[in-house]
């Protein structure tokens, strides 16, 4: 096979941008226990500082996603300036309509119209935040659903969902987008109101071009072929974003690439194949993870590097050889072309790329040597640590 | 709660029609072994005879689905007459593009254009059969997919699929429909070209109003909420048909209602709730099962009765009480209304209904007493038994 | 078939005892949100009061399980007296080695010997509680496991586990038992140290006759046949207890019987078949649920009734007819015998049974009318509500 | 980290032996279709010839497993000589009690004692084959189970199973072993009589030291951690063998390493960690695959190479660094040590190893150039192709 040139791959990798989420820097846990870690941020500014570290060492994490109301501030312009001075920008705005006692039976799909209005009002507030920060994307994830058969009317909840989405869509500016996430289960166990890509896709289609599907890699039923969904949505022009993480069983929110690095590679292969890696495709690449037992910043650095490695391998695929083997129906040869790229150890190439860009070839080791971890443990004393809902 | 009147339920049950598949009467098995049974049909006429028995004893199975080429005959008009004289009619036509060595790497999505043309030609032939039999529905299930990452181009296969479907759609008559079935896996293991309802829905939407989704209850990933899909498709006007069967693990094709009778009830509750039980909704109710170890005709009778029982329970739901409890957010009360219908023993009501219609109250016992089973064992000697691919 | 006599079934139902867990009366939730409910207990005594209500209305919930340290008191004898005066007794003692920051990487399997010693000391304290309360059973559930491949040594953790269990086993009194629960995943995502019944069984076998397996119905992989495990463990004399709850996807901890009432019936059929319903078998029947969105006491009453209904159906199975059909290899007839019992509406029989025992025939309605719910909302003001870890 | 020496790894790899199965060279398929391939063997000798090719090019596949009765011959001594002259030896003997109409409701667990006797007689015959071939291992896989609740008595089937196993065990010679395979589902769908490792382990424990568990990597429920089972069985001295293959959903029998190469690596890491790679451990490494759409011999060569690559990576793990990171509770560092080995491209090392042993560095390319494929297509004309049940 004709090898893809390392320089060409490095050139394409140089444009990569992976957004990290502000909430990954705070404490998180399971329903059984949130283990507190020392040095976690107490303010949104401290979250931005941590996100900036990830970018400083990897060079490919130039923005941080916000979660409203966790990251609510008076003045978002000032916050954007703060981020800029730290070397990154504010990214996607995530709404939160799941942490209020009112939302026990749902937010935008709640049978109670008062609660639906409250939820929609929050979503509209989030569009205000978009205006203020200049962010492009509003990401919507709904915990809405039911736990018991009969608890509520499945179809009526779709009507309510459609109405809420339409209201928010109408409010979007010309350059703003809505990303609709889906999830099979949790926190609702019998039905989720947006359980799968089909539901999200159908609503986005009805809403219009500014609505797109967000694929969270941990939100599928066992056995689901995620890269098929990615390929399908790219073909339909409806893939808006990724929430990357990895899972062995459910929505484990582990470091992306930790559970099934080959799956991550296959996903990125379809992204590249379908044009989704081109900036013009408008696909946002984000992490959405919980570092329950490992340190937060190293967890994000490792995850960013894992995405970068999988991307490098995807870019190494010899597409001409692949297409040839596929056309001729040579099953093993076609599989071999793909595996050849996957088996390649791309770490030396990435080390080179970093060196060329003035970065340390080993981001995690460099971060560890930097003293930042010790500094935040020493300095972030008092106040309340940021966690989910903090 | 205000009970639903038994007479009202019986009146609605009287209009029910459940189609049985011609292939359920022949031998079937797993990849490990097809266990031969005595007395199975050797011709399509004998399959029709057996299907007519199911109708004769249950009163709610008035048609039989055909599978082309398994049920290919010279003169479909004559076959329709044969069915009429046996007391039933010919129903849905099922295409088969998976049992030819040419289809090793796919039929309508095969990388080889010659094979794609061959497959599409078969589908068009099936529309000819529709014309000849006067059947309304062409049901399409594709075994197409890949076993290995890289084996073929996921996206290109969607393009080929879309092209094939469009060709067939164009050929449909005014009163004919295309039902597009989806399946998560098997016989392909890495990708299926129509793996889920979202894929089927998206294609049907693009094709137009004569294309609808067929839900096979055994074709989903573990943990999938099938009744949600049913409710969603009914809301979108895109539910075309059911292929009923039951499963514990994969596409087990067991007797419907045998593995999870509560799920079957929930599905039928959504059917009734969403108007899908009205004849005007155009939802076809079919069985698609394999009686690998149990006798075929009793297996079909039991299955038809299971669907009938689940429907009776669904019709018994006190919808006013349910809506009230849902509106008030009383989780347990709402669940109780639904469970109240489910826990009702509807067998006495169905026995009454049958007696009122001149049928034996216990179809299975009556069939067993009829001597038909012994007769076909004695008579169907010689020739080759019909099985998958026979 | 020869019907089983209703009187015989009622006589056997009269001896049933289902234990409710103290923690089910407090607040609970998912990792996303714990929705607070009004009137939940603030003390262990208030939990006992609530558990006593469930027994007062159902007649079959005579004991309450404790969770240490959530239910730690100075004087367990006094607590036992309190329970007795409320009409119930203290039951199984549950240890908790998962809610301390020290247990981030495990308790009895932690790589750090200091933390292992701390965990074992807690387990030994729990045996002291057994001594004080006179309870028979110590139930052990370990959240121990790892999130990432390589994080710790799978085999070394088994060695540590075996050592800890042996230490606790040695400390057990002659009439005390250890119940070892298993769980596939959560809160650890890559490995759990006791992930399945095989692991629990192997350890119990090595420990000796006082160690038995506890089956939590929500702790299995998708597609696991739980009743097979029940039958197997009963045959081996190693089934110690059930933690009943129901689930659609993972460890949802929903009301038992809500997700799959047929599965619950099949489990109880195997219990009855295998002699596990006899008091001499030493099988403890307990609930382990979280009423995240529904009210707690009604949730427990409904669950107790669901177990009772499933048991009644299991007792109705015509065992002679079943054995006959099985012996003759008549698949459909054998299935029919089982389904015949399942389809029977046992609610009238249970209403009779309750009336005969001086109880209201409808426990949930009677509880609702009792005014208890309103009373606790009014009275339980101030203090901190009990929740997980409260 | 201190790298593991490549020479040390190569030395350990030189002793590896992976057994290929005779049936992998014949046709296979799904229940929907067996696609015929040209040049497949018509006799057991031709299967041996094909297996010898795999060894000739890889150097690590020195034996071939037999399947009785598919590979039944008059004179096994002569067959062993044939194999020897082809450069390989006869390996594990696999029994087949699933392809006779008598086994519709089970073989050794069938309710009919006549059929049980027939099945046991076959198993005893297989021990005769062991005697004749000098093979060490009898591998038992039972398709036995039920499709419907109530169909048969779960517990009675365990009694019958235990009795049959004990009869066969008693017949084993001093140096012979019994390997008991387990499988979650298929071809039975409601219960399998040996569904999981716990069941197999419990029976083997009761039988004695000559009985061990066989782990087929495709036979687990979704989400099962296979390497945990491997580690557990090695610790208990009860891991007897692997049947390697890979799967995305069910028992797909794809080329091992094709679906989840990281899982294969983790399994082999536990094998090495637990001493299972030492010849003295008595763990047999076998393939059990179906090449439904790809050519058979290349499929086996690729699979053997995949196991070899995963083993090389497992041998590269820096165990001292890993143990250090684990002891110190450094989650990310410990994971990094493991991933460092996994990310290494071992293909150059394997190419070297092959060259040192006089083999072509690229076994698949060498096989393709050899002309063998063309030769068998030309020569194997007439006769009936071997397939499942041939």
Per the CB < 8 Å rule, is D332 touching A364? yes
Which residue numbers in chain C have pLDDT < 70? Answer: 1-3, 388-390
Residue of chain A minimizing CA distance to C101: A35
DSSP string, B293-345: SS-HHHHHHHHHHHHHHHHHHHHH--HHHHHHHHHTT-HHHHHHHHHHHHHS-
Contact D151/C335, CB-based, under 8 Å? yes
- In B24-158 the beta strands, taken as DSSP E runs, fall at 63-67, 89-94, 137-140, 145-146
Residues 6+ apart with CB under 8 A from A236: A201, B202
- pLDDT above 70 covers a percentage of chain D that reads 98
Q: Does B191 touch chain A (CB under 8 A)?
A: yes
| Contact state of D231 with C158 under an 8 Å Cβ cutoff | yes
**CB-based contact (8 Å) between B293 and chain D?**
yes
Task: Show which of residues 144-183 on chain B sit within 8 Å of chain A, judged by CB atoms.
Answer: 147-155, 158-159
Residue B266 contacts C, CB cutoff 8 Å: no
Residues of chain B positioned with their CB less than 8 A from the CB of A325: 150
The predicted pLDDT at position D194 comes to: 98
pLDDT of residue D241: 98
Instruction: Say how many CA atoms lie within 13 Å of C209 toward its Cβ.
Output: 5
Q: What are the Cα distances from residue C103, in Å, to A293, C29, C109, D360?
A: 10, 21, 10, 52
Do D180 and D204 form a contact (C-beta atoms < 8 A)? Answer: yes
Q: Would the pLDDT of A208 be above 50?
A: yes
Q: In this model, does residue A389 exceed pLDDT 60?
A: no
Query: Which CATH number does A6-379 carry?
Result: 3.20.20.150
| A185: three-class secondary structure by DSSP | coil
Contacts of B345 in chain C (CB under 8 A): 343-345
Rounded Cα distance between B68 and B82, Å, is 18
Average pLDDT rounded to a whole number, residues D308-312: 98
Q: What does the mean pLDDT of chain A come to?
A: 96
Q: Which of B301, B332, B362 is the best mutation test for C, with the most CBs of C within 10 A?
A: B332
Q: Does D252 touch chain B (CB under 8 A)?
A: yes
Q: Which residues of chain A have a CB within 8 Å of the CB of C184? A: 249
Contact B294 C222 (CB under 8 A): no
Instruction: Please answer yes or no on whether A343 and D345 come within 8 Å at the CB atom.
Output: yes
pLDDT, one tens digit per residue, over C60-85 is 999 999 999 999 999 999 999 999 99
User: Closest partner residue to A331 among D293, D342, D344, by Cβ?
Assistant: D293
Give the mutation candidate from C332, C344, C362, C367 for the B interface (greatest B CB count, under 10 A). Answer: C332
Which residues in B lie closer than 8 A to residue D254 (C-beta atoms)?
A: 147-148, 189-190
Q: Tell me: the pLDDT tens digits for C81-111?
A: 999 999 999 999 999 999 999 999 999 999 9
Domain map (residue ranges) of chain D: 6-379
Whether residue B294 and residue C332 make contact (CB cut-off 8 A), yes or no, is yes
List the single residue in B30, B99, B147 with the smallest CB-CB distance to D293: B147
Which of D222, D261, D335 minimises the CB distance to A223?
Answer: D222
Classify C378 as helix, strand or coil: helix
Mutant choice from B246, B297, B299, B331 vs C, greatest count of C C-beta within 10 A: B331
| Contact across the interface for A249 and D223, Cβ inside 8 Å | yes
Residue D383 confidence (pLDDT):
79
What tens digit of pLDDT does each residue of A105-150 get? 999 999 999 999 999 999 999 999 999 999 999 999 999 999 999 9
Contacting subunits of D (3+ beta carbon pairs below 8 A): A, B, C
More confident site: A384 or D339: D339
Closest Cβ opposite residue D29 in set B31, B190, B255: B31
B105 contacts in A (CB within 8 Å)?
329, 331
- Inspect the interface and report whether the beta carbons of A223 and B154 lie closer than 8 Å: no
D239-244 and A137-140 beta bridge pairing? unpaired
DSSP string, C3-49: PPPHHHHHHHHTT---BEEGGGGSB-B-SS-B---TT--SSHHHHHH
pLDDT confidence band for A4 (50 / 70 / 90): confident
Model pLDDT, residue A2 = 52
Task: Give residue A386's pLDDT.
Answer: 76
A357-388: per-residue pLDDT in tens? 999 999 999 999 999 999 999 999 988 877 76
Hey, are the CB atoms on B155 and A274 less than 8 Å from each other?
yes
Q: How far apart are CA C61 and CA A16, in angstroms?
A: 61
Residues in CB range of B223: below 8 A, 6 or more apart: A184, A185, A221, A222, C222, C248, C249
- In tens, the pLDDT along A233-259 reads 999 999 999 999 999 999 999 999 999
ipTM of this complex:
0.97
Query: Which residues lie below 8 Å from residue D110, measured CB to CB, with a gap of 6+?
Result: D102, D103, D116, D119, D144, D160
Q: How confident is the model at residue D1 (pLDDT cuts 50, 70, 90)?
A: very low
In chain C, what residues touch D155 (CB-CB under 8 Å)? 231-232, 234-235, 270, 273-274
Cβ D331–A294 below 8 Å, yes or no?
A: yes
Kindly list the residues from chain A whose CB atom is less than 8 angstroms away from the CB atom of residue C104.
Answer: 35, 293
Q: Does B389 contact A at CB distance below 8 Å?
A: no
**DSSP class of B104:** G
Which pLDDT does position C387 carry in this prediction? 72
C223, C309, C332 member nearest B302 (Cβ): C332
* Mean predicted confidence (pLDDT) in D288-297: 97
Q: What is the DSSP string of D348-369?
A: HHHHHHHHHTT--S-HHHHHHH
> What is chain B's pLDDT, residue by residue, as a tens digit (390 residues)?
456 889 999 999 999 999 999 999 999 999 999 999 999 999 999 999 999 999 999 999 999 999 999 999 999 999 999 999 999 999 999 999 999 999 999 999 999 999 999 999 999 999 999 999 999 999 999 999 999 999 999 999 999 999 999 999 999 999 999 999 999 999 999 999 999 999 999 999 999 999 999 999 999 999 999 999 999 999 999 999 999 999 999 999 999 999 999 999 999 999 999 999 999 999 999 999 999 999 999 999 999 999 999 999 999 999 999 999 999 999 999 999 999 999 999 999 999 999 999 999 999 999 999 999 999 999 999 878 777 654
In Å, how far is C101's CA from the nearest CA of chain B?
33
Q: Which residues of B touch C302 (CB under 8 A)?
A: 332, 336
Cβ neighbours of B298 in C, within 8 Å? 332
Nearest Cα to Cα of residue B41 among B49, B33, B52, B31: B49
Please give the residue of chain D at the shortest CA–CA distance from B184.
D249
Residues of C in contact with D162 (CB under 8 A): none
Burial class (CB in 10 A: 0-12, 13-18, 19+), B15: exposed
Give me the pLDDT at residue C66, please.
97
How distant is the Cα of C293 from the closest Cα of chain A, in angstroms? 6
Q: Decide: B287 and B21 in contact? Cβ < 8 Å.
A: yes
Closest partner residue to A332 among D249, D299, D343, by Cβ?
D299
Say if residue A26's pLDDT is above 80.
yes
Q: Is B194 left (phi over 0), alpha (psi -120 to 50) or beta?
A: beta
Please report the pLDDT score of residue C390 as a whole number.
42
> Are the Cβ atoms of D30 and B35 closer than 8 angstroms?
no
Cβ of B332 within 8 Å of Cβ of C364? The answer is yes
Q: What is the DSSP letter of C60?
A: -
Distance from the B1 Cα atom to the nearest Cα atom in chain A, whole angstroms: 15
Smallest Cβ distance to D248: which of B189, B222, B248?
B189
Nearest-Cα residue of chain A relative to residue D294: A331
Chain-chain contact of A364 with D260 (C-beta, under 8 angstroms): no
């Amino acid at each position: 096979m004709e090898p893809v040139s390392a320089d060409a791959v490095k050139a394409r990798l140089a444009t990569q941008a992976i957004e990290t989420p502000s909430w990954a820097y705070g404490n998180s846990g399971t329903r059984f226990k949130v283990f507190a870690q020392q040095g976690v941020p107490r303010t949104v500014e401290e979250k931005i500082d941590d996100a900036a570290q990830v970018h400083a060492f990897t060079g490919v994490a130039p923005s941080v996603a916000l979660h409203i109301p966790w990251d609510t501030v008076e003045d978002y312009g000032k916050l954007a300036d703060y981020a800029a001075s730290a070397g990154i920008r504010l990214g996607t705005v995530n709404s939160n309509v799941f942490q209020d006692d009112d939302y026990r039976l749902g937010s935008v799909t709640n049978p109670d119209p008062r609660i639906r209005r409250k939820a929609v009002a929050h979503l509209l507030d989030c569009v205000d935040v978009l205006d203020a920060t200049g962010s492009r994307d509003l990401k919507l994830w709904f915990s809405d659903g039911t736990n018991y058969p009969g608890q509520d009317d499945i179809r009526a909840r779709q009507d309510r969902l459609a109405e809420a989405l339409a209201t928010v869509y109408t409010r979007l500016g010309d350059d703003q987008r809505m990303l609709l996430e889906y999830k099979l289960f949790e926190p609702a166990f019998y039905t989720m109101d947006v359980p799968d890509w089909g539901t999200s896709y159908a609503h986005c289609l009805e809403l219009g071009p500014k609505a797109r599907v967000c694929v969270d890699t941990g939100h599928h039923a066992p056995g689901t072929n995620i890269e098929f969904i990615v390929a399908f949505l790219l073909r339909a022009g409806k893939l808006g974003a990724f929430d990357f993480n990895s899972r062995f069983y459910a929505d484990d929110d582990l470091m992306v690439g930790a559970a099934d690095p080959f799956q991550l590679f296959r996903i990125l292969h379809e992204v590249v194949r379908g044009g989704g890696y081109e900036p013009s495709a408008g696909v946002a690449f984000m992490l959405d993870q919980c570092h329950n037992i490992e340190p937060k910043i190293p967890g994000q650095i490792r995850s960013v590097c894992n995405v970068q490695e999988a991307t490098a391998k995807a870019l190494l695929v010899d597409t001409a050889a692949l297409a040839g083997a596929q056309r001729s129906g040579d099953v093993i040869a076609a599989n071999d072309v793909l595996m050849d790229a996957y088996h390649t150890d791309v770490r030396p190439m990435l080390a080179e790329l970093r060196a060329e860009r003035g970065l340390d070839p080993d981001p995690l080791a460099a971060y560890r040597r930097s003293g930042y971890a010790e500094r935040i443990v020493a300095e972030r004393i008092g106040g309340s640590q940021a966690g989910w809902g903090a």
